[in-house]
Structure 1
Amino acid sequence: MTKRRTQMNLRGFQVFDAVARHLSVTAAAEELGITQSAASHQLRKLSDLLGEVLIERQGRSISLTDAGRRLADSLDGAFDLIEQSAAATIGVNRRMVRLALYSSFASGWMIPALPQFTEKNPDIDLRLIMISDPPEITDRVADVFVSSEPQRRGYWSTRLFRELLVPVAAPQFRQAFARPIPLISSDTDPVLTGKDWEAFAMLNGLEMSALREGAWRCCSHYLLALEMVRAGMGAALVPDFIAFPLMARGEVVRLPGDPVPTGLTYDIQVKYERRNEPDIARLVTWLRSAARRNRHKYGS
């Protein structure tokens, strides 16, 4: 007997899934390669078929209704399952593992350590994917995530390390803090400029007047602050894992003082049912052991 299926608007489900992820009909249409009017038509058709209002318009923005949120959650899992099943069926390379991570973690920690991983795991096709904050944690983006986001429902999580800011400077400033030097703040907001250094001074029982010389030198990212340090522009507080590789090469020096905890942590997140897949498990094990080795090596 021929199997019969109930009528389903699969294209409508696909369009709605994209709209739910972007909260934008325009962005969803661009992702799917269709016009905005075609996407809107599919949404109306799906809403009529289901007899439910799925999205609400609030000026130029949209939001999901309760029914829309329930459908979005269901479709997220369903599409993930379809993609995994299709990949397994048609023989897509299952040795490929996609690792999503922040730019600072990628360039400051992962890239310098990557040769160690590839040497020990030459058969794993590891692909790095940059994410912004807050990231979209889903199988459609990556298989493994390193982020500071709270653990998502349905995901297994393990901690790599907490974020600590350490003072660093170019080698010519090795004797810094014996006299004031220019200080670099990783925030351009006038209200927040220098707050990191104020926390450092308080933690270490120091006076700001004994640390800073001249005006603040500001930037909007730790990676920019580190480049300013390398250019000899002063001292900066940066996450210790970013400073580790440059310290090892003698390009920057660690200045005295206890590190400042930011309250952020870097955690691995993997979908619960995928945590024991061999290649994912190997990557997670290596990440954890590499993090421990770095902590032991640099003593932060």
Structure 2
Amino acid sequence: MSLPFRAIQYFIEVARCESFSQAAKRLHVSQSAVSHQVALLEESLGAQLFIRRGRQTMLSALGESYFNEVAGAISTIEEATVNFKQNDSRQVSLAVHGSLAVKWLIPALDEFRQRYTNIELTLQMLTQDGNFDIRWADCFITTKPPATGYQRYHLYDETLKPYCSKALFSEVNRLKNADELIKYPLLSAISAFASGKPGTDWQRWFEKANLQLPATAKVHHFSHLLLAAEAAKYGQGIALLNEFMTTEQERAENLFELPFHSIKTDDSFYFVYPSTTAKSPGVEALGDWLVNLCRDRSGRPALS
């Protein structure tokens, strides 16, 4: 006797939900389609599988016996299908800015690999933000998420805080007012604000304190936060740094956060991937892990 697999699948779902309408929603089909398939199965078996009492749907004695026999087999098939999809998506390629990868992501990768032993993650260096070539990478960390056609996870809003070396910290930490920082060289990163001019980061920092950066302030300019961070480590001044561009070891040994206010830049970082790969277990696992990693780093829930 040949039994239709679809009819058995629909029967299992109705039994689990105890409802034809709920089973239809889970299967993404109409209720009449579910009823038709169950009727075919009952006709094939020559037995009534459900008892309907008003809105309540219950398994008959024969229906419960049959369910106990076939449910395990269906679960085995479903599990095998999931495992096949996971194995099929083990290799995931992520494109990310080199600075973000080196200072934040790579130091944390061991935890990801221990948790997801079946995923082989490859990192690609993102040289041009906004270039989402899926022939090159499966997913991206970007400040310019596409408007359509992509799934996206919000990771964090970039925030700059004042840091200096251990040697300077003992002096600067005693300061009470923000305007006293001009006694020391200020290390400015042009990359902190895409549309800004040299010194924009410190200008905005002083403006937040209702102050003006004096023209006499000694400001040293760098093209990137990483360069400013290195200069700060060597005691060359005070830098406004993104916490995600420094390692925990650096903040413990070489870079010390000063007890003054922070400012937000114009950038927020997102994990994005094409909607066509939205059901890839490997990519989704990576996205969830990155969101949690940012939540742990900032101490605040990541916004969606």
User: 1:157: which partner in 2?
Assistant: 152
* Pairwise CA distance, 1:150: 3.2
- What's the counterpart of residue 122 of structure 1? 117
Tell me how far apart the structure 1 counterparts of residues 95 and 134 of structure 2 sit (CA, whole Å): 11
Map 1:4-153 → 2, pairs under 5 A: 94-153=89-148
Distance 1:216 1:105, change over 3 A: same
Compared CA separation, residues 208 and 214, structure 1 to 2 (3 A)? closer
State the Cα distance separating 1:220 from its structure 2 match.
0.5
Q: Report SS of the residue matched to 1:287.
A: helix
Q: CA RMSD for the aligned pairs?
A: 2.6
* Partner residue in 1 for 2:291: 288
Pairing of 1:252-291 with structure 2 (within 5 A): 252-291=255-294
> Is 1:182–2:177 an aligned residue pair?
no
User: AA paired with 1:288?
Assistant: V
> Aligned in 2, Cα 1:182/1:246: closer, same or farther, shift over 3 Å?
farther
CA deviations on 1:56-99 (whole Å, 9 max, x unpaired) are xxxxxxxxxxxxxxxxxxxxxxxxxxxxxxxx9xxx97411101
Q: In structure 2, what is the equivalent of residue 20 of structure 1?
A: none
Equivalent in the alignment of 1:12: none
SS at match of 1:208: coil
- Number of the residue aligned with 2:23: none
Q: Does the 8 Å CA contact 1:183/1:213 hold for their aligned counterparts?
A: no
2:222 alignment partner in structure 1? 219
Q: Do the aligned partners of 1:156 and 1:269 also contact (CA within 8 Å) in 2?
A: yes
Measure the CA separation in 2 of the matches of 1:97 and 1:295.
26
CA distance in 2, matches of 1:246, 1:290: 17
Do the aligned partners of residues 238 and 248 (structure 1) sit closer, same or farther apart at CA in structure 2, a change above 3 Å counting?
A: closer
Which of 195, 216, 229 is the matching residue for 2:200? 195
Q: CA deviation at 1:240?
A: 2.0
Structure 2 gap ranges (5+) = 1-83
For the residues of structure 2 that align with 1:163 and 1:130, how far apart are their CA atoms?
A: 20
Give the distance between the partners of 1:95 and 1:137, measured in 2 at CA.
21
Decide whether the 8 Å contact of 1:230 with 1:251 is kept in 2: yes
In the alignment, the residues of structure 2 paired with residue 150 and residue 93 of structure 1 have an alpha-carbon distance, to the nearest angstrom, of 26
SS where residue 190 of structure 2 aligns?
A: coil
Match of 2:209 in 1: 204
Cα shift readout 1:164-208 (whole Å, capped 9, x = no counterpart): 11111111121327251111111299x822221111111124453
> In terms of Rg, which structure is larger?
2
Change (3 A) 1:282 1:118: same
- Most deviating of 238-247 and 251-260: 238-247
- Deviation (angstroms), 1:250: 2.7
Work out the percentage of aligned pairs sharing the same amino acid: 26
**Once the 2 structures are TM-superposed, how far is the Cα of residue 154 of structure 1 from its aligned partner?**
1.3
Aligned residues, how many? Answer: 204
The alpha carbon displacement at 1:245 in A equals 2.1
Aligned equivalents of 2:251, 2:295: Cα separation in 1: 16
Question: Structure 1 length normalisation: TM-score?
Answer: 0.62
Classify the secondary structure of the residue corresponding to 1:249. Answer: helix
Amino acid paired to 1:229: A
**Cα deviation 1:136-178 (Å, max 9, x = unaligned):** 2021121111101132431111210111111111111213272
Aligned equivalents of 2:130 and 2:145: distance in 1?
Answer: 11
Pair 117,102 (structure 1): closer, same or farther in 2 beyond 3 Å? same
Give distance in 1, aligned partners of 2:163 and 2:116. Answer: 33
Q: Distance in 1 between matches of 2:289 and 2:217?
A: 44
SS in 1 for 2:172: coil
CA distance in 2, matches of 1:156, 1:131: 18
Q: CA deviation at 1:119?
A: 2.1
Q: Give TM-score scaled by structure 2 length.
A: 0.61
- The whole-number CA distance in structure 1 between the counterparts of 2:237 and 2:111 is 32
Structure 1 contact 181–213 (Cα < 8 Å) conserved: no
